A and B are shown apart, each in its own frame.
Chain A
Amino acid sequence: FLVSGGLVQSCGHIIPESPVLALGSNFTALCILNESCLDFGNIYASQIIWKIKNRVIPKEQYREINRTVSSVTFNDTSSLATPLTCNILADGQIEQNIYGITVTVGLPPEKPKNLSCIVYQMSKLTYHMTCTWDPGRHTFLDTHFRLKNRWPQETFPDCIPKDVNNSCTITDVQFFVNLEVWVEAANALGKAESDPLVFDPIEIVKPLSPHNLSVNSGILPTVLKLSWENRISAAVMKLKFNIRYRIVGDTNWIQVPPEDTASPRTSFSVQGLRPYMEYVFSIRCMKEDGVGYWSDWSEEKTGVTTEDKPSKGPSIWRIIDACHSSASWTVRLMWKALEPYEANGLILQYEVTVRPKSPLSGPPEKYNVNATNLTLKLPNGTYEVTVTARNRAGASPPSFLLIPAINSKASVKNLKTLPKDGKLWVGWTAPNNYVLKYVIEWCLVSNNSDCIIEWQNEPGNIQGTYLKGDIKPFKCYLITVYPLYADGQGNGQSVKAYLQQDRPSKGPTVQTKKVGKAEAVLTWNHLTVDEQNGFIRSYTIFYKTIDGNETAVTVDPSKTEYTLSPLTSDTLYTVRMMAYTDEGGRSGPDFTFTTQKFGKGEIEAIVVPVCLAFLLIVLLGVLFCFNKRDLIKKHIWPIVPDPSKSNIAQWSPQVPSKHNFSSKDQMYPEGSFTDVSVVEIEADDKKSFSEQDLKPFDLLKKEKSTSEGHSSGIGGSSCMSSPRQSVSDSDEGETAQNTSSTVQYSTVVLNGYRDQTPVQVFSRSESTQPLLDSEERSEDHAGGGDSTTQKQHYFKQNGGQDETNAGRPFLERTKQITSSNEGDLVGFAQLQISGQSSQLLCLGLEKNEEPALSDVLQTSIDGQTLRPETVEENPPSVDDMPKSYLPQTVRQGGYMPQ
């Protein structure tokens, strides 16, 4: 740069200066250096560097025209940007800017297209014409649009759009002269014009709508007269009109036939309206010949037609309550208020007539009611009810309802419902008979409220209708359809329906009714109708263990109980239940339970046998102990023999008084016997004794015969006092001889009690040799009288006990005897008397050894005599017995020798 006169002078410049270029075109710029700078700074064109912004343009695009001019060429201006600078690489490789220009790239304007114009009437005398067009592509440049218009011989000022580029409004519009209109677009790269439009502006007018509309009711209840003012002069254009109207509250417009309003006018009478109905009217206009545009609709005005008589009677229905009395009904008559288009006016009252029909008789009853229901108490029968509605213009035709005694007519079939268009549609198949009309009853089924009946009438020729009421979604409705005939009504058919279903609001609460080892009985209650929100299609039971997968079971919705099986014993289960409608399901709360460890009867199956086994063992033990009681007793309570009760001692005739064993003192008056050895004498059939135990009644019987044969009084302990022996007393030697030949010898051992030293011990001998010594001693003893000090005695075993138990039943005593015998087998001496009928009580103890023989034993209770059957085998001996037998003045335990 040079400083000249205080101003900085550039060393060069670029031409063209700030060009506007068409996008996509080529462009060449020249950088011209000042001559003065050449000399001053040794700057030449070869040193020029072109830049776009800070980007160096490739040298290929340069051309050195001479030493002061360098050019740069761009084949496509789209690569250009601002600024384009000319720089010089001076000495020291310092780059200096010489000059820069701003390059503007854009597009020439396109030809505007789709030009169209509308003349808007702004006021009575003012018209604005607005023309719109398509400005074409964006030019990236400042492009000006002008709407040009002219008459053939007069050109008007251009219309210049404000803020937009596609429309403009001309405010001075003159009609009836053709106007030529076109659009001119221009920018730095060019100018373009649209195709011209030539038209008379009167042909494109959108007039203002008529105003000051008024509606007046006429004489007729079906006519309203409209009046209005037009805001366009008839001199400008003649108008035609559109009139539309609707009932207040309705959204559908009705239009007066256009041909009726196709001529200029300022009023019109609309006919065919409904009486006592409020209507809304609106009007619009356009050029009569249809060229141009319709005006907007005018403001709306309302009018009401005058009243007329109600066109029909109100729909009527009834609810009959026959619960309170069998002879009469409470009839609630209900009718619906007429719709406005039916009432044709303000209903002042309803006139109800109830006319009894055969077989009832009587004049009709008339009621004037302001409400829409009437409750009557009527005797059972058939009535014809008529209802008429009355307004100021007159009364309606009557509505009839037959209140039948019974509903015996045919009913509708195939009753079904279907939600449609947000309403609930009810359909049915008509009965074969002609139906006058149908009555559809419905009510909302809820736990929280009663079933409030709503109803509607439908003509008899239809087979389906929408419920006319506030049908709520998710609510259950009970719908009943009654066909009404000329002579009665049919039975109602009912169906439940939902307008819209949803998932249940809650799930069933499940719980267990019974829990077993491998199953659980679940129970639940049905959801209430308010909770269902739809038809319950199924239940699903989900159950799982803590760590197991969930299992689902689908259950019929009619059930309230289900048995889960199989389950694992002694396991915690979580169960929940879902109720499903068509829209989905909802789960109830979780419920947990634990299955039992043992199944039903398992414990019983274990415990009962165990108990039984225990009881059996105990019983066996008791029996065993009982059977072995003598042995046990021997070990625990050994029997202490009482010498004083020795049979041998008692045998002495001289000491009969000593045989009073009523007491121990008596038994052992002298207390001399502390150690006693027992001699047990057994009859020849020792085993028969047990049989006596088992057959006491036999014994009783036998005892009788025995007493006959042998006399009673022979004590159990009278081992030696058998009749035979008694006989042998007189024949002593022979008897002894006979006896000794069969009696086993025994050694009576005097065992000491506990630590006491036994006096003498008798050991049992298996020898069958006659017990001579003993016999001798016995005889000695008998002869010797009360030689109680003698060491060797025959004692009757348990003799003392026998005495003390004399009054006890024989069986018991027998057992005692048996036990003692069994328990003392070692020291037992059997005395078998061959051929004798009588036997010592102590005989026959070995029943366990030969039970077969027991039945041949007979026992005499009184005489405590055991007589084997073998006695009968020796009748001669028996016959001899009474001869030698003296009835003893017996004291038990002792014999009085004869």
Chain B
Amino acid sequence: MSSQGGWGSSKEFLDLVKSIGEANSQAEEERLVASEIEMLKRRNVEPDLPHKKMEEYIIRLVYIEMLGHDASFGYIQAVKMTHDDNLLLKRSGYLAVTLFLNKDYDLIILIVNTIQKDLKSDNYLVCCAALTAVCKLLNEETIPAVLPQVVELLTHPKELVRNKAVMALHRFHQRAPSTGSQLILCDKDPSVMSAAVCALFDPVTADAQGYKNFTTSFVSILKQVAEHQLPNLYDYHQTPAPFNQCVLAEILKRSDANSNIGNAILYECICIITTIHVSPRLLEVATEITSRFVKSENHN
């Protein structure tokens, strides 16, 4: 992909990006941004901008906010763009909205309607865009409006949608603990499974007793991952709640100490082992590994 600027980027945007990149001092950058803000404000009041222009306009607003200047005059334009039918524009609109607003803004109300419509869409990419926005934007008042739709999406044929629906429920649980949620831990797709593991981490740490029956599922998942039964594409894994000492010992034996991710797993295991009551044999293995770490030349 060329770095001369994407399709549809106007010359102005390219110039802006280049000149900000080349700005030598804070003052120069401020001056550039101020003139950009002036121009965007003027554009803001123009009716009927073509949609591609609108997208670029929104990205420029994101840019300005990233550099630390307020761009609140343009938030409403971002909200309008989420209504667009073109997927890229819609998604850019959602992105801008999640970057600009947080759950306390009143503009969220305007978005909830669009989100509800998009969650029902036939195009699964649109559902995903809406679910991603749901994770970032909703609070206790607005959650009930979308909850039934999200629960329904848990059984969507596409695994990407299920994945995001699980994370949306996780978010709801964080915001409003009274939302009951049933999660599908043993979904056949590994990314949904790992999302569910993530999502379950919080409720499980809060109430370990109630989740005892999940132990066997956790153990089998961990075994699967540790024995490289997942396709090669998945080379990162996380250890869930500390229920399973014997499986941890297997991982300790198998991890290759030269790979960084192997080290990450070992580190996690050691942390877990030091916090729970373990058998002496495991302790021996743990101390051996720790000394390996300390002697290692890698400064991390």
A, B: real partners: no
Interface residues of A (CB under 8 A from B): none
